[in-house]
Structure 1
Amino acid sequence: MPDHPHSAIARRLKRANGHLEKIIEMVEQGRACAQIAQQLQAVESAIENAKKALIHDHISHSLEQTLRASGSTGRAALRDFKLVAKYL
C-alpha cells in the first residue's frame, strides 16, 4: 500500500518536533542564546517548508483535479484555493 500523500510532510514535522525537544533541553541546560536562536531558526524553517509542501501538494493534486470540473465545483475549488494560498 503506498504512503498517504502527506506521509512525507508528517515525517518532516516529526523531525522538527524532535529537534524542538532538543532545543528545549538546550534552554533548560542554560546553553548560549546564540546557539538556541540558531536552532530555533532551523526548526522554524523546517515547519515553514512543511507548510509550503502541504499547500503545494494541495494545489497540484486536489485543486488541479477539481478545477478541471465545471460549474459550482470549480468555483468552490477556487474559493478553497484562495483560502489556502494566503498562507504561502
Structure 2
Amino acid sequence: MKDIKVPEKAPKFIKDIINKFNQLPLILKILLVVIAGYIAFKLISLIFIISIMSLSLMGVTIAKYPLISIIVILALSESIYLIYNAYKKKVK
C-alpha cells in the first residue's frame, strides 16, 4: 500500500493523522480501510432508507394537501436550481 501524500495547505491535525496512518503496519492499514468502508456503507444505506421514508411521507402529504405540496416542491426545485447555478459559476 502506498503512502498517502499530504497537500501543503492541509491543516496540521490532518497532516498528523495521515503521518500516523502512514507509519502503521500494512495489516492495520488494510483493517482500518475495511472498517472505514463498512461504516461508510452503513451511513449511505441509512441515508438511502431515510430518503425513501421521506419520499413516502411526501407522497402521503401530496395526496392529502395538494396545494401545500406543490408550493413545497416548487421551492425545492428553485433551491436546487440556485445551488446548481452557484456551482456552475464556481466551476468556471
Q: TM-score, normalised by structure 2?
A: 0.47
Greater Rg, structure 1 or structure 2? 2
